[in-house]
Amino acid sequence: MQSTDPTHIGSFRLAARLGAGGMGRVYLAHSSAGRRVAVKVVHSRYAADAGFRARFRREVETARAVGGAFTASIVDADPDAASPWLATEFVAGPSLQAAVAEHGPFDVEAVLRLGAGLADALVAIHGAGVVHRDLKPANVLLAADGPRVIDFGIAHPADGTRITESGGVIGSPGYMAPEQLMSTAADAGPAIDVFALGAVLVFAATGQSPFGPAPAAVLLYRLTHEDPRLDAVPDAELRALLGRCLRKDPAERPAPSAVLDVLAARLTPASTVSISAWLPSAVAADITRVERELPAPPTDPLGRPTSRRRLLIGAAAGVVAAAGG
């Protein structure tokens, strides 16, 4: 934390900076009950931009609409604040992008579990009538109990309605579907997220996108004119599934539920896998270290989390004890 950082946002007490970028800052914070959250605070200079506020409000509405076990749930938000902000579930783990950069590609079992979690997330996202549009390794966080899909900043309803700058390409080269290069939003339906899912899993298995490392313009050319590069995917059945996800014709891609069925059929039963065993051991060790180093919630002089909820629970317990209950 720096001297210019606020101490509170909404009802949340800020504890540490998690990151910063051109659009704003992200903080680790605690609720009044001691729950850890990630608070995204937009730079105040964007507050006067009505278009930006509309997009941010859309992000908040979209995040609230989406549920599921493998998306980072929204806790609270204020898109109308002087500096708009959004608080989501805090995930004590690296992004897939960072984990692969640091420790290398995942083994096949880890890719299968990652893929099952992400496919499950897409079932929930599409079930809410939303298309993510920017599923990529940096937007996948790795938690001990499974992945989390984050950042709905450029998501839009599945009916094609969207708020964005005209003429811009929306997505990330290397992970966006060919139809995202078209000017009509009607072409950019839920199948684009399946394409991105396939590309993300290729990255997890090989350390590269299916169109290789290259400048954005080269990647966009390969995306529209060349087949994905899947030779390095180490499992034939997985390679075939990812090839179907990466078909250039969106009508030929499987639904997320079909992808989930294929992957789930190959998984080791969950009852035999410990909570963090789905991850490569080095990544699991990173998560354990992060958990140890996180700032603790604010405490009162007796070492208890400072919160009205805890005080009320304590008071209620005292009443029950006094009543002999």
> Does residue 134 carry a catalytic annotation?
yes
Catalytic residue among 120, 134, 193, 286: 134
Phi-psi region of 57 (alpha: psi -120 to 50; beta: other; left: phi over 0): alpha
User: What gap in Å lies between CA 106 and CA 173, rounded to an integer?
Assistant: 22
Percent helix, percent strand, percent coil in the chain, to nearest 5:
40, 15, 40
CA angle 244, 246, 220 (to 5 degrees): 165
User: What gap in Å lies between CA 228 and CA 223, rounded to an integer?
Assistant: 8
CA 204, chain centre distance (Å): 15
Phi-psi region of 146 (alpha: psi -120 to 50; beta: other; left: phi over 0): left
Burial of residue 161 (number of CB atoms within 10 Å: 0-12, 13-18, 19+): exposed
- The strand ranges marked E within the chain are 8-9, 12-20, 24-30, 36-42, 74-78, 85-89, 130-131, 140-143, 146-149, 156-157
User: What gap in Å lies between CA 26 and CA 7, rounded to an integer?
Assistant: 13
Calculate helix-pair angle for 236-245, 256-264, nearest 10 degrees. Answer: 170
Q: Which residues are identified as catalytic?
A: 134
